Amino acid sequence: MLLAIAAVIVGLVILVWSADKFVEGAAAVAKHLGMPILLIGVIIVGFGTSAPELAVSANAALNGSPGMALGNAFGSNIANLTLILGAAAVLSPLLVASGVIRREIPLLLAATAVATGLLYDGEVSRIDAVIMLVVFAATMGWSIYAGIRDAGTGDVVEAEYSDEIPDMTLGKAWFWLASGLVLLVGSSHVLVWGAEFIALSFGVSELVIGLTILAVGTSLPELAASIAAVRKGEHDMIIGNVIGSNLFNTLAVVGLAAVITPIGATEPEFVSRDLPVNVGITLAVLVMAVGLKGKGRINRFEGGLLLVTFAGYMTWVGLTSM
């Protein structure tokens, strides 16, 4: 048991660190190859913040634990919308000024609706998974096209992400890209093994482990990035990171896991508890961020409600899993 707990802790630490190095290497290589800053921004926001979830869910699916993969993806979504946005808003009320963010939030709601429809029967077949991946590819393509089309968007993205692209040689960039990927895969394997062992030892389902330990653990990069962004006053970046991460989790992470191993009948609680909570919180954040009168703002009170919601949800999951 101690070895399994150590595997989870060490696996999480290396996972978060290696994901950061992998994304830095990828962004630096892309910069050396002359890729547009907008596309590099997609790498940082979309793949970068969800790399831990993707690695863990893929490994869980490969190990024959698709329920853990599903729990990790949706648990991370709920943690992003409640714990991360809530903590950021309590520290500093979040103003939503960017038209891009206002456009992307309804897009997240649409992606959530598609995933909920496919998951309502409690299963994800390979056909469902392919649909998710196609919708994700279309969503990313449309976002990039819209960003290029809108006047001034490219400059905004460049201003936001130029400081996040490390200044390193091409050789060093390739080194961190390769070594970061190896460590990312290896640490996720160790983490999943430890989580599976703990679940079996305590008689807890893999879905619950994914919704709690793995979800909160793999959301730590977003939490750290959001707290840092609050200090810089980059409110749109905080919300943008959460939206990008949740889009990736909802469609790409679940889709990839189910392509590897189709997800059979999940626990009834997933459909009756976790899916409605995910949809409800997404709707609530949409109302807060867009604003009923066109002036979006997530204030400290609303941030506190999101934190209370996170605590209540974690308690609910714990009580219903006993």
Q: Where are the domains of the chain?
A: 2-320
Higher pLDDT, 103 or 67: 67
Q: DSSP 3-state assignment of 297?
A: strand
Which tens digit of pLDDT belongs to each residue from 291-306?
665 567 888 999 999 9
Higher pLDDT, 294 or 190: 190
The contacts of residue 314 (CB under 8 Å, 6+ apart) are 212
Which tens digit of pLDDT belongs to each residue from 192-209?
788 878 877 878 888 888
Which tens digit of pLDDT belongs to each residue from 104-139?
777 888 899 999 999 988 889 999 999 999 999 888
Structure tokens at 37: 């800053």
Mean pLDDT confidence for 229-244: 76
CA–CA dist 217, 16 (Å, integer): 9
Mean pLDDT confidence for 83-87: 93
CB atoms within 10 A of CB 191: 28
Mean pLDDT confidence for 177-205: 81
Q: What DSSP letter does each residue of 167-213 carry, written as one string?
A: ---HHHHHHHHHHHHHHHHHHHHHHHHHHHHHHHHHT--HHHHIIII
Higher pLDDT, 80 or 199: 80
Q: In this predicted structure, what is the pLDDT of residue 238?
A: 78
Percent of the chain clearing pLDDT 90 (strictly above): 23
Average pLDDT, the chain: 81
Higher pLDDT, 52 or 101: 52
Q: In this predicted structure, what is the pLDDT of residue 292?
A: 61
Q: In this predicted structure, what is the pLDDT of residue 155?
A: 45
Q: In this predicted structure, what is the pLDDT of residue 194?
A: 85
**Taking the complete model, does pTM exceed 0.85, yes or no?**
no
Give the sign of the dihedral formed by CA 103, CA 92, CA 160, CA 83: negative
Secondary-structure percent of the chain, ordered helix, strand, coil, rounded to 5: 85, 0, 15
Q: In this predicted structure, what is the pLDDT of residue 1?
A: 80
pLDDT at 154 over 70: no
Cβ-count burial 274-298 (b if 16+ within 10 Å, e if not): bbebbeebbebbbebbbeeeeebeb
Which tens digit of pLDDT belongs to each residue from 246-299?
888 999 999 998 998 888 777 888 999 999 999 999 999 888 877 665 567 888
Which tens digit of pLDDT belongs to each residue from 9-42?
888 888 778 877 877 787 788 778 776 655 565 5
Most confident of 43-52, 71-80, 146-155: 71-80
pLDDT band at 156 (very low <50, low <70, confident <90, very high): very low
CATH class of 2-320: mainly alpha
Q: Which residues pair with 95 in a beta bridge?
A: 297
Give the single-character DSSP code of 164.
Answer: G
pLDDT band at 44 (very low <50, low <70, confident <90, very high): low
